[in-house]
């Protein structure tokens, strides 16, 4: 596109807005940080009401030993209304469809007090369909509006990466998708290694394709992509570098495993004041140009065409600000 054309821009912009936000549920903001809280630790769940992350994932999967799964269901179910009352947005992580535990987990946590569930190792659309059926049946029994419970699938196997777009498109309940590096590495039979001993510049070549593929698939499906947790919770600079990399390839947020990680993640994924101000100026000049019927517009010596306008819209959306 050469210059800003008001008619084509309006049509394209409206199409973009419809495609990229059709699963955004207002007034609930999309998360930048989702913090895991072990489901078998009642004291930690109680303390989580005061943690910095608005979004919490009470975990029934990896952080809970097999022998404590049943007890953890009761602990999480007991704390869900307390955390919701404290203003937290909740997406408990249930065990995978292949574990045989998912249905019981779902029965324990589904209520009007959660936004959705998080589930690992989703490999294909058949599993999503089976999961959706479980949710619908549970919602009906619990007196929850059918469709209320959203799904955050983890894309963390070789099969899932290949099927990522289809998974993200397979249910209107899916508003977000997370990349899981640990299980993906195990699925591929590779070790998590970095190409630099310095955590401030390190990257992981073995994850590069999958990490990018999930971000692209999620975006194409109109879904909010969330990056894998950074497991070195005492390394804030390494976290900042990894989060910055994730943002640069299209991720909109990142999972956290420790409360100390929340501030760093929020800072990386929240657009800066200068980015927000610039975005607002771009959109204002675009509206002005359209109203005046100008064929081309510019701002600070830069031609303002459709890609620039779309980037400005993205900045405000990432900041959870209206356009």
Residue spans per domain, the chain? 6-13+273-318, 33-269
Average pLDDT along the chain, 323 residues, taken 10 residues at a time: 38 38 58 97 98 97 96 98 98 97 98 98 98 98 97 98 98 97 95 60 80 98 96 95 95 97 96 84 82 79 83 82 65
What distances in angstroms separate CA 76 from CA 42, 209, 292, one per listed residue?
8, 35, 57
- Residue 131: closest CA among 153, 158, 113: 153
Task: Report the distance separating Cα 249 and Cα 245, nearest Å.
Answer: 7
pTM: 0.82
Neighbours of 263 (CB within 10 A): 15
The domain 33-269 belongs to what CATH superfamily?
Phosphoenolpyruvate-binding domains (3.20.20.60)
* Packed helices 306-318 and 6-21: angle between N→C axes, nearest 10 degrees: 30
Task: Report the distance separating Cα 279 and Cα 259, nearest Å.
Answer: 31
pLDDT in tens, 109-151: 999 999 999 999 999 999 999 999 999 999 999 999 999 999 9
Q: Is the peptide bond before 27 cis (omega within 30 degrees of 0)?
A: yes
pLDDT in tens, 225-241: 999 999 999 999 999 99
Task: Report the distance separating Cα 240 and Cα 151, nearest Å.
Answer: 27
Give me the chain's average pLDDT, please: 88
């Amino acid at each position: 596109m050469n210059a800003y054309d008001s008619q084509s821009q309006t049509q394209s912009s409206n199409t973009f807005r419809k495609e990229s936000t059709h699963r955004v549920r207002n007034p609930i903001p999309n998360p930048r940080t989702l913090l895991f809280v072990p489901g078998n630790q009642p004291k930690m769940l109680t303390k989580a009401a005061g943690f910095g992350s608005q979004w919490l994932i009470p975990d029934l999967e990896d952080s809970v030993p097999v022998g404590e799964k049943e007890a953890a269901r009761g602990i999480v179910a007991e704390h869900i209304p307390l955390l919701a009352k404290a203003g937290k947005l909740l997406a408990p992580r249930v065990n995978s469809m292949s574990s045989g535990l998912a249905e019981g987990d779902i029965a324990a946590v589904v209520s009007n007090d959660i936004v959705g569930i998080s589930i690992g190792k989703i490999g294909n659309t058949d599993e999503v369909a089976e999961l959706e059926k479980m949710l619908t049946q549970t919602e009906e029994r619990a007196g929850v509006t059918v469709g209320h419970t959203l799904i955050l699938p983890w894309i963390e196997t070789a099969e899932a990466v290949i099927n990522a777009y289809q998974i993200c498109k397979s249910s209107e309940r899916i508003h977000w998708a997370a990349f899981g590096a640990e299980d993906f590495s195990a699925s591929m039979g590779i070790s998590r290694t970095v190409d630099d001993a310095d955590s401030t510049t390190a990257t992981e070549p073995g994850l590069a394709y999958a990490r990018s593929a999930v971000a692209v698939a999620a975006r194409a499906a109109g879904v909010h992509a969330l990056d894998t947790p950074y497991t070195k919770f005492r390394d804030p600079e390494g976290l900042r570098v990894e989060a910055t990399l994730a943002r640069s390839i299209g991720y909109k947020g990142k999972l956290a495993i420790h409360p100390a990680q929340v501030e760093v993640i929020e800072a990386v994924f929240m657009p800066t004041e200068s980015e927000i101000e610039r975005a607002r100026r771009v959109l204002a000049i675009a509206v002005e140009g359209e109203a005046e019927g100008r064929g081309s517009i510019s701002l600070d010596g830069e031609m303002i065409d459709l890609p620039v306008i779309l980037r400005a819209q993205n900045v405000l959306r990432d900041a959870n600000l209206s356009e």
